[in-house]
Amino acid sequence: MRSRIAVTAALLTLIGLSPAVARGQRPERPHDVLVPGLGVRLREGWEMFFSKGCRYAVPATWRPTPDRSQAVALDGSSISLWTLHVTNWPQRRSQLKVAYSADGRVREDSDVRLWIESNASKPARHFVAVADSLVACVALVEIRNRGAVADSDIEAIVQSVGGADWTTDLK
């Protein structure tokens, strides 16, 4: 056994590495993972939940309801998820903008996603709707304490909302 350790130390020294440094270094691991079949990045320490054909991701400290349609943080911040049946997404998106943007600003308005942020009231609200064929996955994210949830976390939650249909595209 000692000879094996000595040989390994000699080889490491030969290639210019200190045996002590080599033992102490650990490989760098990614801080997020790409979920196969969904093309969604899941952050380290986060969980993804599925409900009624839709999905969202939140930090692991958030607790989901039994049906996974809602999750609540320790500070009372929350996400609620539901589905809308849509036959005409552009028309529905226009109606949703009128209904939700009166006291907020549109952060994203694309062919597939509508994201409206409202800070006019407490809690701050983020409304997001993501179209997927004849269904839209809709979420309302409420942030009770703006200092408790980082803007990058809010953006990651909103970006995680979408359809839960698996594809064969393993990007």
- Model confidence at 70, in pLDDT bands (50, 70, 90)? very high
Question: Does residue 91 share a domain with residue 151?
Answer: yes
**Cα gap 62→164, rounded to integer Å:** 20
Residues 15 and 37 in one domain: no
Looking at the fold, whether 83 and 139 belong to one and the same domain comes out as yes
Residue 108 lies in a domain: yes
More confident residue, 97 or 2: 97
Across the chain, what does the average pLDDT equal? 81
19 with 70, same domain: the answer is no
The stretch 109-116 carries a mean pLDDT of: 93
| 22 band by pLDDT with thresholds 50, 70 and 90 | very low
User: What pLDDT was estimated at residue 24?
Assistant: 54
Max Cα distance, the chain (Å)? 75
- The structure's pTM equals 0.76
Instruction: For residue 168, tell me if it sits in a domain.
Output: no
Is residue 111 over pLDDT 80? yes
Q: Do 17 and 94 share a domain, yes or no?
A: no
Section 65-83 average pLDDT: 96
| Total number of domains in the chain | 2
Tell whether 24 and 56 lie within a shared domain: no
Range with top average pLDDT, 40-49, 56-65, 143-152, 156-165: 56-65
Q: Residue 128: what residue type?
A: V
Name 135's Cβ contacts closer than 8 Å, sequence gap at least 6: 53, 83, 84, 85, 86, 163
pLDDT: which is higher, 70 or 151: 70
CATH classification at residue 61: 3.40.1000.10
Alpha-carbon span 122 to 115, nearest angstrom: 18
Per-residue pLDDT at 23 exceeds 70: no
Do 36 and 25 lie in a common domain?
Answer: no
Whether residues 19 and 59 fall in one domain: no
**pLDDT confidence of residue 103:** 79
- Residue 64 belongs to some domain of the structure: yes
Looking at residues 78-82, what average pLDDT do you find?
97
- Structural domain harbouring 5: 1-29
Residue 128 has pLDDT above 70, yes or no: yes
Q: Is the pLDDT of residue 118 over 50?
A: yes
Give the contacts of 8 (CB within 8 A, at least 6 positions apart): 19
Closest to 105 measured CA to CA, from 119, 116, 120: 116
41 within some domain: yes
Q: Are residues 23 and 104 in the same domain?
A: no
